Amino acid sequence: MYKDYYVSVIIAAAGMSNRMGSKINKQFIAIGGKPILAHTIEKFERCRYIDEIILVAKEEEIEYCRKEIVRKYKFNKVANIIRGGKERQDSVYNGILALNECSNIVLTHDGARPFVKNENIEDGIRGVIDHGACVIGVPVKDTIKIVGSENNIDDTPPRNLIWAAQTPQCFFKEILVKGYENAMSTGFFGTDDSSIVEEIGYNVKMIMGSYENIKITTPEDIILAESLIKDRDMIFNRREFVFQSR
């Protein structure tokens, strides 16, 4: 289906883990006996449509990633381990500069999202072919408030219009490059890659992801992650969970 495309994924793993408050990079914390980052890379290593993985890491962690993750788990699709930058978008931009010249579809993914499903990855690639740019996400479950000064609630946007963007975020390479060239020249800051592409006027599609595709950010997420690894199937097999398909 995708034989005409060379699909790269940039896995951003060069953050400071400040909100986790861990002594080590949160992506090196083991869940189910394996570092979070290894779980994440494994999902793209196993996806038949991914041709190249560019890993972006903190300079002082590149050798650890090379020895203790890429070589140890034999992630042969990892073509390069690149130094990250101050912000997530700086790290992604460094990854863009390292892409194989054959690449024409680029996915960006958080190293801190180890529970991405193969269907999310494939849906994202298909979304690029059909729409040029797309984001995996889920409708929010809570009512969202816009909070201004002195914690005053300024607005309550209609919940049926609000989605939580996840990753992978997926683009034809030329669209992503144009967005990043604009951001780097204008100083536009985005907390995700879609906003950087939206900024230059491209229409980005939202594609249904999975509520399990959490971004491991604070300590509570480690508890959720361990449960997703250990108890997921046991929980879903309970009699009271009668699912058509899961």
Ligand X SMILES: Nc1ccn([C@@H]2O[C@H](COP(=O)(O)OP(=O)(O)OP(=O)(O)O)[C@@H](O)[C@H]2O)c(=O)n1
Q: Which stretch binds ligand X (CB under 6 A): 60-68, 104-112, 152-160, 176-184?
A: 104-112
> Tokens 């990043």 correspond to what residue?
180
State the nearest-atom distance from the C-beta of 242 to ligand X, in Å: 35
Tokens of 29: 């914390």
Taking the CA atoms of residue 66, residue 177, residue 45 and residue 31 in that order, the dihedral angle to the nearest 10 degrees is 70
Taking the CA atoms of residue 107, residue 112, residue 113 and residue 118 in that order, the dihedral angle to the nearest 10 degrees is 60
In sequence order, the β-bridge partners of residue 57 are 13, 83
- Position closest to ligand X via CB: 15
Q: Give the footprint of ligand LQXTBERG on this chain (CB under 6 A).
A: 88, 110, 165-167, 191-192, 215
24 binds ligand X (CB under 6 A): no
Three-state DSSP class for residue 94 = helix
Comparison of 25 and 103: residue with beta carbon closer to ligand X: 25
Measure CA 35 to chain center: 16
Q: Among 8, 17, 166, 213, indicate the residue that binds ligand X (CB under 6 A).
A: 17
Residue 178: its H or E element: helix 173-186
Site for ligand X in 205-224 (CB under 6 A): 215, 217
Q: Which stretch binds ligand X (CB under 6 A): 1-9, 12-20, 129-137, 230-238?
A: 12-20
Q: Which residues bind ligand X (CB under 6 A)?
A: 12-19, 56, 84-88, 91, 110-112, 215, 217
